[in-house]
Amino acid sequence: MKRLRYFLCAMSIFSFLFGGCSKQPAPQSKAPPQTLPLGEISFSQLDITERFADDLHLKPADWIATVPLNKSAPNGKGLPPVGASDDEVYKAGEKLSKLRESIPVPNDGVYCPVCHIANIELTKLHTPCPKCGRPLLKFGWD
């Protein structure tokens, strides 16, 4: 948590400095974050890791537990309802992963939305989950 707070703090200082010093026109409104082609989808994966930058200390052979997003965002678009069956969850995750796979993001890894585990090696994409055998989906760490 401390690290995350420090990061956010640093970010706001940076944006303040850049916003204050730059003489570019129209620096007033913050540029909107890059959105996915389908405007309605707010998530590109079903799970997140508990801590910021969790991937940095993982080795390629390590698997880390993930937390389902629908617990904290029950009405999140694209997320399955809490209590959805494994197949429903996976189907939802697969849809989001396809979207994410169309956008190259450095440092993306893989995860299984059913077993809630993630790994930093993108080369494992679509290979069977070590627990349930479903093809692994694309996972972003932040």
User: Residue 116 class from Cβ within 10 Å (0-12 exposed, 13-18 middle, 19+ buried)?
Assistant: middle
Q: State which residue, 79 or 118, has the beta carbon closest to Zn ion.
A: 118
Among 68, 129, 139, 141, the residue binding Zn ion under the rule CB under 5 A is 129
By CB under 5 A, is residue 89 in contact with Zn ion? no
Q: Which two tokens stand for residue 49?
A: 């890791």
Residue 5 Cα distances to 8, 12, 49, 60, 110, angstroms: 5, 11, 16, 27, 26
CB closer to Zn ion out of 13 and 88:
88
How many residues sit close enough to Zn ion to count as binding (CB under 5 A)? Answer: 6
Q: Of 96, 114, 118, 120, which lies in the binding site for Zn ion, with binding defined by CB under 5 A?
A: 114
CB of 117 to Zn ion, least distance (A): 7
Q: With residue 118 as reference, give the H or E element that holds it.
A: strand 117-119
Which residues would be at the binding site for Zn ion (CB under 5 A)? 112, 114-115, 129, 131-132
